[in-house]
Amino acid sequence: MTKKIATRDAYGQELVRLGAENKDVVVLDADLSKSTKTYDFFKNYPERFFNMGIAEANMMVTAAGLATVGKIPFASTFAMFATGRAFEQIRNSIAYPRLNVKIAATHAGITVGEDGGSHQSIEDIAIMRSLPGMTVFVPADAVETAAAIKAAAEIKGPVYIRLGRSGVPVLHGDDFKFTPGEAVTLREGEDVALIATGIMVSMALEAADILADEGIKAMVIDVHTIKPLDIFAIVEAARKCGAVVTAEEHSIIGGLGSAVAETLSEHQPVPLQRVGMRDTFGESGKPDELLKHFGLTAEALVEAAKKAVAKKSR
Amino acid sequence: MEQKIAELQERAKTIRRHIISMLCEAGSGHPGGSLSAADMVAALFFDTMRLDPENPEWQGRDRFVLSKGHAAPVLYAALAEKGFFPVEELQTLRKLGSRLQGHPDMKKLPGVEMSTGSLGQGLSAANGMAMGLRLDGGDQRVYVMLGDGEIQEGQVWEAAMAAAHYKLDNLTAFLDYNNLQIDGPVEEVMGVAPLADKWRAFGWQVIEIDGHDLAQILTAIEEAKATKGKPTMVIAKTVKGKGVCFMENQAGWHGNAPKPEQRDQALVELA
């Protein structure tokens, strides 16, 4: 297995680098700086770091105010509280006025682990992608995270970046080129397209290996930008493979699976299977145990791929 | 000083006339809380704040956030009178395609510093502005107007805590204490008293004034400017619907537009 790094760690490091490069970058946190890794920024640039206490609603709108005077605020907390507790603040004070606020939310998905279902955000992609003008990044590894954070700082407008707590394999080399809104084809294939986001991308690659052993050639697409969605790449993959599987550490309602289903229904209807949380909340457990328990594994992707392929031939 | 106050009183009256006319033309909107805030808004826009209508994005300007965004007409009237856009445009309020949205939209109308209207959020935004301007070493000041019903929102107290914690002495807040909200008297709907004690306990400098007395308003603004190490809350006792006898102290005029004959009657009073 390759080296594992949590995307939140990559975020903390990239923030420090950005802070040196751009004096307008400021960071806000809601008493979770050691968990979200914004603490590294605080240590380097204390005057540009604002701990807002356990008050996410106020934090989001304070970030909006900072943006109106030319700052580039990164506001961090757990995905649950960022997009759940402070949804209406993000909607009305950040997205509606299209302010230049970056919401870097960590501890997304079930790999939060032992803290349990109350802390496992499985709706945040759905919530954020429904907001007009919101860019939504879901990086798959440390390299993508650093690139997404850098890109977020350059984008003029609101950006949501979904980050995780647990270590994930590093998929990309130093030469990786990140273009917002452009999905990355990690593996070519012609029988089924595995379209994945976040930590599920590495599992899609594993699944493609297993499928190859069984004679099924799977294409693997890494959708690091949920919005704007790379409709072209998705339609082309569906056209070429004739069957699609989506994979996300998120509810299949409203997330990547929904976004792909919407796209395919309009442009290129093909059999589709969605792997993700199936209208259920998470629970306490070790991240790996939880992924198995809820069917977010390479094996589950393999099964889904076979189902999709079978439907194709009907 | 007396002449200045007479001029500001005249400005406030003009603002009130615009409020009545534009709301009548719009056929909907919020006169009560617009009229109660008119004197404070007149003082800020025509005496206190450094603004450049020719260059609305000028970095050196002071900022005003209308946290009680439903009182948009009072802000629009002041901005038009100040020269940010033509006065005639006030008649487009709330109409399709207008820059004058039902609640202030910073992306549409020059001079609007923050999109507001969803209550309880403006103070947080003002805090952010004050923090950012101070970081750049500027001497700009940030002003924010809250409603008394609005402070029932919990976020206001999160922001109150933060402003004191970060010692935002470049921030002055006004509380338009007209004691009425949509469903009735504030103390009946959800009591907020004792206001001064609450804000003091949160670490603010508190000044209590008559929000229709321009001399008191100007003095409070100066006192706030001179206060170091903490933000200032000006609790301004006001009359909802102030200046129009049949609207004064009537909760029913929170969100109802005057009919043409009511407009005419109001404009006679405000002549």
Neighbours of A147 (CB within 10 A): 21
Q: Do A89 and B106 lie within an 8 Å CB cutoff?
A: no
Please tell me the distance in Å from A57's CA to the nearest CA on chain B: 6
Q: Residue A174 has what pLDDT?
A: 87
Q: Residue A314 has what pLDDT?
A: 59
Q: Which residues, at least 6 apart from A73, have a Cβ–Cβ distance to it below 8 Å?
A: A26, A27, A28, A63, A66, A67, A100, A101, A102, B128
A45 touches chain B (CB under 8 A): no
Residue with tokens 């002495």: B169
C-alpha pair distances (Å), B90 with each of A142, A298, A303: 52, 61, 63
C-alpha pair distances (Å), B54 with each of A5, A40, A93, A138, B59: 52, 43, 26, 42, 13
* Type of residue at B259: K
Size (chain A), residues? 314
**A92 neighbourhood in chain B, CB within 8 Å:** 115, 117-118, 121
Q: Residue A3 has what pLDDT?
A: 86
Maximum CA extent, chain A: 63
A90 touches chain B (CB under 8 A): no
Q: Which CATH superfamily is domain B2-269 in?
A: Thiamin diphosphate (ThDP)-binding fold, Pyr/PP domains (3.40.50.970)
**A69 neighbourhood in chain B, CB within 8 Å:** 63, 128-129, 132-133, 136
On whether residue A179 sits in a domain, the answer given is no
Q: Do A69 and B136 lie within an 8 Å CB cutoff?
A: yes
Q: Do B115 and A93 lie within an 8 Å CB cutoff?
A: yes
On whether residue A178 sits in a domain, the answer given is no
Q: Which domain holds residue A109?
A: 4-169
Q: Looking at A56, A236, A248, A249, which residue is catalytic? A: A56
Q: How many domains does chain A have?
A: 2
On whether residue A14 sits in a domain, the answer given is yes
Structure tokens at B118: 């969803």
Identify whether residues A149 and A241 lie together within a single domain: no
C-alpha pair distances (Å), A26 with each of A76, A289, B57, B125: 11, 37, 21, 15
Identify whether residues A107 and A248 lie together within a single domain: no
**Considering CB atoms only, which of B106, B107, B155 is closest to A57?**
B155
**CA–CA gap between residue A131 and residue A89 (Å, rounded):** 12
Structure tokens at B70: 């439903």
**CA–CA gap between residue B103 and residue B2 (Å, rounded):** 34
**Considering CB atoms only, which of B115, B130, B165 is closest to A96?**
B115
Identify whether residues A137 and A253 lie together within a single domain: no
Of all residues in chain A, what percent are helix, strand and coil, respectively (each to 5)?
45, 20, 35
Neighbours of A206 (CB within 10 A): 16
* Positions in chain A short of pLDDT 70: 1, 313-314
On whether residue A176 sits in a domain, the answer given is no
On whether residue A177 sits in a domain, the answer given is no
**B159 neighbourhood in chain A, CB within 8 Å:** 58, 61-62
Q: Residue A77 has what pLDDT?
A: 98
Kindly report, residue by residue over A107-151, the tens digit of the pLDDT: 999 999 999 999 999 999 999 999 999 999 999 999 999 999 999
pTM passes above 0.90: yes
Identify whether residues A99 and A124 lie together within a single domain: yes
For chain B, 271 residues long, the average pLDDT of each consecutive 10-residue run is 96 98 97 98 98 97 98 98 98 98 98 98 98 97 98 98 98 97 96 97 98 98 98 98 96 94 97 93
Domain holding A59: CATH number?
A: 3.40.50.970
Structure tokens at A187: 């593996």
Beta-carbon pairs below 8 A across chains A and B? 104
Kindly report, residue by residue over A266-284, the tens digit of the pLDDT: 999 999 999 999 999 999 9
Q: Do the bridges between strand B142-147 and strand B63-66 make them parallel or antiparallel, or are there none, so unpaired?
A: parallel
Identify whether residues A206 and A296 lie together within a single domain: yes
The reply to whether A56 belongs to the active site is: yes
Identify whether the C-beta of residue A285 lies closer than 8 Å to the C-beta of residue A257.
no
In the predicted model, what is the mean pLDDT of chain A? 97
Interface test with B, best of A26, A58, A93 (most B CBs within 10 A): A58
